[in-house]
Structure 1
Amino acid sequence: MALRVTQNMLNSNMLRNLHKSMLNMDKMQQQLASGRKINLPSDDPVVATRGMFYRSSQMENDQYKRNASEAMSWMDLTDKTLDEVGNVMKRVSELLVYSGNGATSPDDLKTMGAEIAELKKHLGTLANQTINGKYIFAGTETDKAPYDENANGGKGDFINKNSSEVLLELSQNVFAAANINAQKIFNYPDNAGNMFKVLDNIIEELNNGRSAAQFQDEISQQYDNLLAERATLGARVNRIELIGERLNVQEVNIKELMSKNEDADIAEVITNLKTQEGVHRSALGAGARIIQPTLLDFLR
């Protein structure tokens, strides 16, 4: 049975095809304007899904970079603080050598004792160093000052006993400690014989007008231990720097994958748009032929 084709059918098909052609041109114009292959998830669900995955990976990588930066800030401040602690130890060692000079008067020894007392106060300030309001030598008890100037009968002492690590995630399931174990520095070799207690003994001897040169070995041990801990910290800093470089490389790779997945090939889009414009003009020409003269045109 033959199908009767009417003028309305021809007109409807022509309008539908013209509408489809205009939709294709609109899609290409949007790609050209936005520079992206898709503007809605429905344009290509596969590309959209991959884009979500890449963006999630980029957000994670950005957070890892922030964690690495925070860890570096902690370690940089820790190293600078320990450097100052080392300077205090060296100055105390110099004063101990001077105190062993037989020509040094009792008044001079008392003056040295006063200076070392001030150095001890400065050492307590260094032990209470903070970053963003957190004590860096307090283990995980970052809200409590590890050094109390009223402890030990008002002489001041390092009272913190927390040796836990402040861990930051620098990559998936890769953690690194941002802090150091301050017990190995300020409570070395133990709380009863730590650097503050040694300084108290030195100050007492000097205030009594006696030489404190006999404490040189203890101060040397404290200083050598400090250098060993700084070396360990330096090795950790090197590791964090390597992780930071790897995160930067990952960021570039993720952005490259995102670009390949989402960015439109502008040259290809322009070529396709021009081709579609030609198709559209041809469709308009064909449509003009489809609209035939009516019966009224023959009644003139």
Structure 2
Amino acid sequence: MRVANKTLYDSITVNLGRVTSSMWKANEVVSSGKNINHISDDPVGLVTVLDLRSSLAGVEQLERNIETGTSWLKASEIAFTQMNEILSDTKQLCVQMSSATVGASERRAAAELVEGNLVQLLSLGNEEVGGRYIFSGSRTDTLPFSLDESTNPPTLIYDGDHDPFSVRIGRNTTVEVGRDGEAAFGAPGNSIFDLLIDLKASLESNDVNGIQQAMGELDTAMGSIRSLISNTGTKILRLETKTAILEELQLNYTDRKSQIEDADIAEAIMKLKSSELTYQAALNSSSKVMALSLVDYL
């Protein structure tokens, strides 16, 4: 049966188009390094890749949260440690000043040292990380502690709130990395700052009983600060553990995404070369067939 020239040419055109499309796709895979460049390449695989990208973005956000939280907790740990040292030095001063051999003038001089310690404690109570106060509860843009110098003795003021700043480290998990300043250091009138304010007054008034009472209160305060240090260290370890888990999860997601999305370049180049050879063969064959005329059949 004789095949019409139009039918023959149409068939050649279709075949060349198919071979050209195959070669173009192979070239695109080599150029991009990706198996999926269009929705039609692998609709199911593309959905999986998009889900994995979303999961990776979520993991990266959690890692940023943990990084922020860790920096807050480490700053807190340092502040608590320095506070404990200041309180310890203050107690040693109390031991010396409670001696019967010490006079009023020496106690007044010691009051100035306590004043300096109080200033340092307030500075640590107003510790910042990245311009945000870590002991203001959730009011991280507000200076937590200040002294009203208009009263005698000065009055402590707390301007934070009672909702500690937290970071999310999991789908439904948060960790408090900031502190409610009142809960950490005591409410105004009964805080570690007030303890030093009262001690200073006792030293200035040569009140030995007040100095001796402060010694016991300083022990209690140091015990509270040590508990805060321990609690903070526990939270840091928790975040470090979570970081390790997220890093493992990130590697898993990245590997799965790569298996679906990324091309094996060596294999892709071989497919491209094969497509080019097929294309050349199709062109040669088509040119010979389309060059035939009636004379060739006489």
**Residue aligning to 1:100:** 98
**Residue aligning to 1:202:** 199
Distance in 2, matches of 1:152 and 1:84, equals 28
**Residue aligning to 1:40:** 38
Q: Residue 161 and residue 130 in structure 1: after superposition, are their counterparts in 2 closer, same or farther (change >3 A)?
A: closer
Structure 1, unpaired ranges of 5+: none
Distance in 2, matches of 1:139 and 1:292, equals 86
Counterpart among 88, 93, 118 of residue 90 in structure 1:
88
Distance in 2, matches of 1:145 and 1:298, equals 100
**Residue aligning to 1:63:** 61
Deviation at 1:91, TM superposition (A): 1.3
Structure 2, unpaired ranges of 5+: none
**Residue aligning to 2:189:** 192
**Residue aligning to 2:148:** 150
**Residue aligning to 1:125:** 123
**Residue aligning to 1:264:** 263
TM value normalised by structure 1: 0.91
Q: Which residue type is aligned with residue 286 of structure 2? A: G
Distance in 1, matches of 2:189 and 2:148, equals 16
CA contact (8 A) 1:109 1:210 kept: no
Distance in 2, matches of 1:184 and 1:293, equals 97
Distance in 1, matches of 2:223 and 2:31, equals 65
Deviation at 1:181, TM superposition (A): 3.7
Q: Which residue type is aligned with residue 42 of structure 2? A: D
Distance in 1, matches of 2:155 and 2:231, equals 28
1:235 aligns with 2:234: yes
Deviation at 1:133, TM superposition (A): 2.4
CA contact (8 A) 1:136 1:179 kept: yes
**Residue aligning to 2:165:** 166
Deviation at 1:296, TM superposition (A): 7.3
Residues 213-270 of structure 1 show CA distances to partners (whole Å, capped at 9, x for unaligned) of 3321110110011101211111111111111111111111111011011011223222
Count the aligned residue pairs.
295
Q: Residue 213 and residue 5 in structure 1: after superposition, are their counterparts in 2 closer, same or farther (change >3 A)?
A: same
1:251 aligns with 2:250: yes
Deviation at 1:161, TM superposition (A): 6.6
CA contact (8 A) 1:158 1:196 kept: no
CA contact (8 A) 1:61 1:251 kept: yes
Q: Which residue type is aligned with residue 165 of structure 1? A: P
Give aligned-pair identity as a percent: 22
Q: Residue 185 and residue 291 in structure 1: after superposition, are their counterparts in 2 closer, same or farther (change >3 A)?
A: closer
261-270 or 80-89: bigger deviation: 261-270
Distance in 1, matches of 2:214 and 2:50, equals 65
**Residue aligning to 1:74:** 72
Q: Residue 277 and residue 227 in structure 1: after superposition, are their counterparts in 2 closer, same or farther (change >3 A)?
A: same
Residues 78-134 of structure 1 show CA distances to partners (whole Å, capped at 9, x for unaligned) of 111111111110111011011022222221110100110121122112111122222
Deviation at 1:290, TM superposition (A): 1.4
98-107 or 214-223: bigger deviation: 98-107
Deviation at 1:34, TM superposition (A): 1.2
Residues 161-220 of structure 1 show CA distances to partners (whole Å, capped at 9, x for unaligned) of 732222211121111111134333310xx5432212221221111112343233211101
CA contact (8 A) 2:164 2:176 kept: yes
Q: Which residue type is aligned with residue 119 of structure 2? A: K
CA contact (8 A) 1:146 1:159 kept: yes
253-262 or 266-275: bigger deviation: 266-275
Distance in 2, matches of 1:226 and 1:293, equals 98
Deviation at 1:160, TM superposition (A): 4.3
